Amino acid sequence: MIFIAGGTGFVGRHLLAALQGEGRSLRCLVRDEGKSKWVQDFGSDVVTGNISDAESLKGTMDGARTVVHLVGIIEEQGSDTFESVHVKGTENLVNEAIAAGVKHIFYQSALGADPDSPFAYLTTKAKAEVIVTSSGIDYTIFRPSLIVGEGDGFTERMKQLISLGPVVLVPGDGTARFQPFYIDDWCRAFHKVLAGGMERNRVYEIGGPEQLTYNEILQEILNVLDLQKTIIHLPMGLTRMSLPFMGLARSVASLLGREIPGVTADLLALLSRDNICATDSMEKFFGVKPIPFAEALRSFLK
């Protein structure tokens, strides 16, 4: 039986769809009971719990052979901090997995995870990796670059940004490089792991076949949406100075029926640094040839 934490998130939803009909025994941890029916429609059993609450996990993994840990946040909100979700949540999951006799843990980390990173998102991902690798359970860790597909947070934020007016405002010079790849290609790689065809106790850094700047990604999205808008770059310092007023701006925009994507200092910093690996990583490790970014966009973005 496969236990999935994070099955209602972007990657989790696509993974459940990919596993549907394969006859596998699945059990999903859901935080919101309102999503139980949706998960069950994909052929999965449901248990309610929160990885940040160790007590709520008791017994949820009994009978599971594999644990798939997809839970992660890109922005802290209230009690959901990087430390409570990435670190404490992973510790809770791993402890319960040990108690349940789980044989294999899959963890979705992030490209750039590093205990010495200046960014809390990446340091806590690295801490979570250590918890997984020191558990005594066989593990597989993915460190992906930008994953795109229907419902992904990055593309949705870009669409919101594009919709705000006749011009598109970009913090900084937009020259940081990323390696976006399609969620279906991620699922194909994951299938190789699930089938036991990959060496365990390894960390895989993966990304798409192209290293694209933020500017190039934005322009490609505009092209697929058949939009022509001027891109204006804002000095990063000016953007950071405006952060204290972002909450007010989002509230006013909401009243006007518009939505401004959330921005934090960490997000701005992550968007201004390269997030890349070898362009042949997917094919080299998994025998999966990922489709180009433009082709991926055309498949889901209308």
First to last CA, the chain: 37
The pLDDT value recorded for residue 236 is 64
Tell me which CATH homologous superfamily contains domain 2-144. Answer: NAD(P)-binding Rossmann-like Domain (3.40.50.720)
Using CA atoms, how far residue 200 sits from 107, 141, 188, 192, in Å, is 12, 9, 17, 11
Structure tokens at 7: 């099955």
Collapse the DSSP code of 212 into the 3-class scheme (helix H, G, I; strand E, B; otherwise coil) and give the result: strand
Residues 6+ apart with CB under 8 A from 29: 3, 4, 5, 6, 7, 47, 48, 49, 51, 57, 60
The pLDDT value recorded for residue 245 is 35
Q: Where are the alpha helices (DSSP H) in the chain?
A: 10-19, 36-40, 82, 89-100, 120-133, 153-163, 183-194, 214-224, 236-241, 246-255, 265-270, 281-286, 293-300
| pTM across the whole model | 0.90
The pLDDT value recorded for residue 33 is 79
Residues 6+ apart with CB under 8 A from 219: 231
Tens of each residue's pLDDT in the chain, 302 residues: 999 999 999 999 999 999 988 889 999 999 887 778 888 888 899 999 999 999 999 999 999 999 999 999 988 889 999 999 999 999 999 999 999 999 999 999 999 999 999 999 999 999 999 999 999 999 999 999 999 999 998 999 889 888 888 888 888 889 999 999 999 999 999 999 999 878 999 999 999 999 999 999 999 999 999 999 999 887 766 455 444 433 433 333 343 344 545 556 666 667 778 999 999 999 999 999 999 999 999 999 87
Domain coordinates of the chain in residue numbers?
Answer: 2-144
